[in-house]
Amino acid sequence: MKNRIYLLSIFSILIFISGCGEITTTDDGTIYIPTNTPTPMPTVNPTILPTSTPTTIPTDSNSDKGLRIIGKITYDRVHVKSNGIGLDYNNITKESAKRVLVKLVKSSCGTTNSSDIIASTVTNNSGDYEFTNLPKNQNAKICVYAQMEKSGTGGWSVKVVDNTNSDALYTMQGSSFSTGENSTRRNLNASSGWDGSSYSSTRTAAPFAILGSIYQAMEKVISVDSSATFPPLKINWSIHNVPAGYGSESELRDGQIVTSHYNGDGNLYILGDANGDTDEYDDHIIIHEWGHYFEANFSRADSIGGPHGDGDRLDIRVAFGEGWGNAWSAIATDKPIYFDTQGIRQSNGFSMNIESGTSGSKGWFSEDSVQRILYDLYDSHNDREDRLSLGFKPIYKILVGPQKTTPAFTSLFSFITYLQEENPTVSSQIDAILADEDISHIYDIYGSKHANLYSDMEQGNLKEICTSVEYGKRNKLNNHKYIRFSINRSAYYTILVQQNNGSGTDPDFGIYKTAPFEHIGDADSSMAGKESGRYNLTIGNYLLDVGDYKGVDYACFDVTIN
């Protein structure tokens, strides 16, 4: 299921009103600008609004910290309507911007000159920040970056940029002020930009809402593995990102991103077309796509991608990958209602229940079945045949362990086989959850008792393996056939796949070594009726993935390895 987010820029400045004990703050106009050493505005020229005199805070108990500025960084989150269809602009809450980078600078938020940076910190999980031992009477400005940084083991690096504006980093900044001689509190809030009928100003909150969803996903991982280290992630969002194009580099820079997606190489692309498809507040969409990032970096993703939807009978790799993404969005949020808002005024969309939803197709080939199975294994709510509450840790252990190194293609078969091996005392409960999706006991990682997905090649020859487009083309069940074979002498080998039942096909294949699992290469020329490739293969076990690019109704092939 695609994932989306929304982003725009806005600048945030607050009016601070002194009170007795509690500090009351009110939000004024905010302007949000992307920066890129330094960076021009991607859409409009902002007008920086003045900030009233900030609230003075006591210093006697913090004399060792000298002159301080403290505050809280928040953002507007617009919630989905109770029926899961469309955003509810009457239900907006201020959420803490967790772990975001905050700097106190002398002039420009886009500065790279260290002498212009007075202090730097990150917010805590409550959105609070603190600058200490500041110079007095220094002209300054507070900059909040759509960036989360933590170095070393257990760290991360996540940022939100405008892919249509030279990857400018989105930044919220306060107005210029003097540090004065007394410690002060300065809060900043990123506004949604909604005026009651439309987005009339820049949507400052969008990048911080996106980061909030990403951090929620990371928190779930950290809850079971405190030393988890997250590879760098760049989130590409723009108001110009639309569902168009074919994904070329030039199209991506223009905002034609096909759909919201993870590209497998540290980049998340997110749609941002107002009144078309906006997703900055669609946390399940965002976390689903982050789930593909998780697979690629913590586990293993063999999915071949492509279109998919309710009721599809999918290639087992696609079914698991998409089912995992949907289940993960519910696991990370502990909310089984998955929603995607879109349309005019973001008032439309769809929603589904990850736990109890139904589909026109149950089975090991169904992403709907996979998502329900994974969520039922995790959750503490018993329903239907679900009487099991494993929590996330056993699922995580399989994903980062045997699922990552399995000699089969990643699928429900491999995942459940390892889960039952690791948790034999609940094998019957796992079987009951499977049975509720019309799946009998899974005996091995290849699903050998369920379908003839894998064939064994003996002595370098395999006669007649057949693909089918009965359930659709490209990434559907039986579009691809898998072949297992072994090499007992290291040498160069020629692999030939040739149609044996007529003409009209364009066979392609991929070759993989299974231990450690490695993609060796692909043969995908446009030769009619046959495909070949020559590879330097070492001793070990291998898999071939054979398919027909043209999608002939029923195509059969002979495979030889010499």
Give the pLDDT of residue 448.
95
CA atoms within 13 A on the CB side of 238: 25
Structure tokens at 54: 């900030």
Percent of the chain with pLDDT over 90: 81
d(CA 216, CA 199): 26
Among 363, 275, 277, 266, smallest CA distance to 319 is for 363
Bigger pLDDT: 15 vs 174: 174
d(CA 207, CA 280): 7
Cβ neighbours of residue 106 under 8 Å, at least 6 residues apart? 116, 117, 118, 138, 139, 140, 141
Residue with tokens 């003409």: 503
Topology (CATH level 3) of domain 454-561: Jelly Rolls (2.60.120)
512 near 480, Cβ under 8 Å? no
Length of the chain: 562
Give the pLDDT of residue 21.
26
Residue 141 has pLDDT above 90, yes or no: yes
> Cis omega (within 30 of 0) on the bond before 243?
no
d(CA 440, CA 357): 20
Q: What is the separation of C-alpha 475 from the centre of its chain, rounded to a whole number of angstroms?
A: 21
Structure tokens at 14: 């607050």
What is the pLDDT confidence band of residue 302, given thresholds at 50, 70 and 90?
Answer: very high
Average pLDDT, the chain: 89
CA atoms within 13 A on the CB side of 174: 31
Question: What would the DSSP string read from start to end of 373-407?
Answer: HHHHHH-S--BTTB-----HHHHHHHHHTHHHH-S
Question: pTM value?
Answer: 0.90
Neighbours of 34 (CB within 10 A): 29
Percent of the chain with pLDDT over 70: 89
Cβ neighbours of residue 130 under 8 Å, at least 6 residues apart? 65, 68, 69, 70, 121
Least confident of 44-48, 330-334, 558-562: 44-48
For residue range 98-132, list pLDDT tens digits in order.
999 999 999 999 988 999 999 999 999 999 999 99
Integer CA distances (angstroms), 266 to 211, 260, 297, 395, 555, in order? 15, 14, 9, 23, 37
Give the pLDDT of residue 18.
24
Neighbours of 135 (CB within 10 A): 12
498 near 507, Cβ under 8 Å? yes
For residue range 214-251, list pLDDT tens digits in order.
999 999 999 999 999 999 999 999 889 899 999 899 99
Bigger pLDDT: 16 vs 233: 233
Residue 1 has pLDDT above 60, yes or no: no
d(CA 493, CA 562): 5
398 near 295, Cβ under 8 Å? no
Give the pLDDT of residue 239.
86
The helix/strand/coil state of 250 is helix
Integer CA distances (angstroms), 216 to 23, 221, 328, 333, 334, in order? 28, 9, 11, 7, 10
Give the pLDDT of residue 358.
76
Neighbours of 490 (CB within 10 A): 11
Give the pLDDT of residue 58.
61
The helix/strand/coil state of 525 is coil
d(CA 24, CA 15): 9
d(CA 413, CA 416): 6
Bigger pLDDT: 218 vs 311: 218
Mean pLDDT of 463-475: 95
Integer CA distances (angstroms), 361 to 399, 468, 476, in order? 25, 18, 13
Least confident of 112-116, 505-509, 547-551: 112-116
Give the pLDDT of residue 14.
28
Residue ranges in 401-511 assigned as alpha helix (H) = 402-405, 412-422, 427-435
Give the pLDDT of residue 8.
28
Structure tokens at 184: 């002060």
For residue range 336-357, list pLDDT tens digits in order.
999 999 999 999 999 999 998 8
Max alpha carbon distance in the chain (Å)?
89
At 384, phi and psi to the nearest 5? 50, -120
Structure tokens at 296: 């690629």
* Parts of the chain belonging to CATH 2.60.120.380: 454-561
Cβ neighbours of residue 459 under 8 Å, at least 6 residues apart? none
Neighbours of 1 (CB within 10 A): 21
Residue 324 has pLDDT above 60, yes or no: yes
Residue 51 has pLDDT above 90, yes or no: no
Residue 26 has pLDDT above 80, yes or no: no
Residue 536 has pLDDT above 60, yes or no: yes
6 near 287, Cβ under 8 Å? no
Give the pLDDT of residue 377.
97
Integer CA distances (angstroms), 126 to 106, 170, 212, 535, in order? 26, 21, 12, 55
Question: What would the DSSP string read from start to end of 178-228?
Answer: E--SS-EE--EEE---B-SSSB-S--THHHHHHHHHHHHHHHHHHHH-TT-
User: What does DSSP say about strands 139-150 and 100-105: parallel, antiparallel, or unpaired?
Assistant: antiparallel
Cβ neighbours of residue 42 under 8 Å, at least 6 residues apart? 9, 34, 162, 164, 165, 168, 238, 239
Bigger pLDDT: 459 vs 254: 254
Give the pLDDT of residue 40.
31
Residue 88 has pLDDT above 70, yes or no: yes
At 325, phi and psi to the nearest 5? -60, -45
Structure tokens at 67: 């002159």
The helix/strand/coil state of 322 is helix
